[in-house]
Structure 1
Amino acid sequence: MDIHHGRFTADIDGDFVVFLIGMRFNKPLQVSKWWPVFTAMPAMMRTIAQHPEIGCLGTRNWFGRTTILVQFWRDFESLDRFAKDRDLPHLEPWRKFNAAARKSDAVGVWHETFQVRAGEYEAVYANMPAVGLARAGRHVPVRSKADTAAARIGKAPADDQSTVDGY
């Protein structure tokens, strides 16, 4: 990824959804209990990447004892449709996990969903490659939106320079 020197922000048209999902290895040595959950994710990620018409705008994941996957979706309906569609690689692994989870606490899963209205978000990236929302939407110079965090999120006029956020 190329580093973009200077200050940039994210721009995305309309409302969108931020979906956080992850798993936690509660008992890491019980591989047979968490392996099926862990190995179900690549098929889901491939499907999302190969079919942008599903509605996922971008993803990013981190791995550790607790994993986290951040997804940006066009709308909640697209996310919900992906989760429930019998022909896509989510519903069946989810059903299997639910059945197995009742028998063991070796692995935990979690998710959080946030609906974001147009213009009610703020992002800044200094000397970074395009990541997160900037990768799901557009990566633009800060000056094209507003110079401060308060102005970018709509809590201050764009030309109000009384507060400098430093990034």
Structure 2
Amino acid sequence: MDNHIFEGRYTTENNRDVVVFLIGMRINKRLAIRKWLPVFTAMPGMIRELYENQEALGFLSMENYFGLRTTVMITYWRSKEDLLAYSRGQRHLTAWKNFNRKIGDTDTVGIYHETYVVPQGHYEAIYGNMPVYGLAKASGHMPVTAEVRTAEKRLRTGVK
């Protein structure tokens, strides 16, 4: 991962649709490690698969966050069709079946996801003194110019 810091203000292109998919888990019973650890360890294989097959799968980029009990992975996709196709793929289906077999409806660990389909021109971002990050990794990283100096301008014009 490149952690080069880009000094100044940058934004992202918003000239194409993007799907933002958040997925995560919450450890409800910390001492039940044998129950929640398999859920936690199922993700690295899927992440590897996504990065190894980005173009074919329509996967653009991701960011991960880990808290004391809750994790979240923010992923960016080319389309909802690509995201749904991946959800039906072998690796994901195997992980989902294993989760249901081991955890099911117990309260040991919680899982969640949220999906946002965002049309082109209806999102904007600003990055100050940051490496290429988040949506900029997924949609393109570019310096802020007078034409896109404010959030209102970035949303109104659609960066091209």
Take 1:83 and 1:145, find their aligned partners in 2: how far apart are those partners?
39
Instruction: Please tell me whether the aligned partners of residues 64 and 73 of structure 2 are also in contact (alpha carbons under 8 angstroms).
Output: yes
Deviations, residues 38-79 of structure 1 (Å, cap 9, x unaligned):
111001000000001111000110112100000000000000
SS at match of 1:67: strand
Following superposition, which runs of at least 4 residues in structure 1 exceed 4 angstroms of deviation?
A: none
Q: Find the counterpart in structure 2 of residue 72 from structure 1.
A: 76
Larger gyration radius, structure 1 or structure 2? 1
Size of the aligned set, in residue pairs, is 154
Higher relative contact order (CA 8 A, sep 6+): 2
Which among 16, 19, 38 is matched to residue 17 of structure 1? 19
Q: Where does the alignment leave 5 or more consecutive residues of structure 2 unmatched?
A: none
TM-score, with structure 1 as normaliser: 0.87
Q: Tell me the residue number matched to 1:63.
A: 66
Q: Which amino acid aligns with 2:71?
A: T
Q: Partner of 1:149 in structure 2?
A: 151
Structure 1, gaps ≥5 residues long: 159-167
Letter in structure 2 aligned against 1:76: K
State which drifts further: 36-45 or 96-105: 96-105
Tell me the residue number matched to 2:93. 91
Provide closer, same or farther for how the CA distance between residues 119 and 35 of structure 1 changes in structure 2, counting only shifts above 3 A.
same
**Quick one: distance in 2 between partners of 1:58 and 1:19?**
11
1:1-167 alignment, distance < 5 Å:
1-52=3-54, 53-64=56-67, 65-86=69-90, 89-143=91-145, 146-154=148-156
Partner Cα separation in structure 1 for residue 126 and residue 31 of structure 2:
40
State the percentage of identical aligned residues.
45
Residue aligned with 1:96, SS: helix
Larger helix proportion of the pair: 2
Q: State the distance in 1 between where 2:141 and 2:83 align.
A: 23
Alpha-carbon contact 1:20-1:69 (below 8 Å) kept? yes
Q: Distance in 1 between matches of 2:39 and 2:27?
A: 10
TM-score (norm 2): 0.91
Q: What is the aligned-residue RMSD (CA, Å)? A: 1.6
Query: Counterpart of 2:82 in 1: which secondary structure?
Result: helix
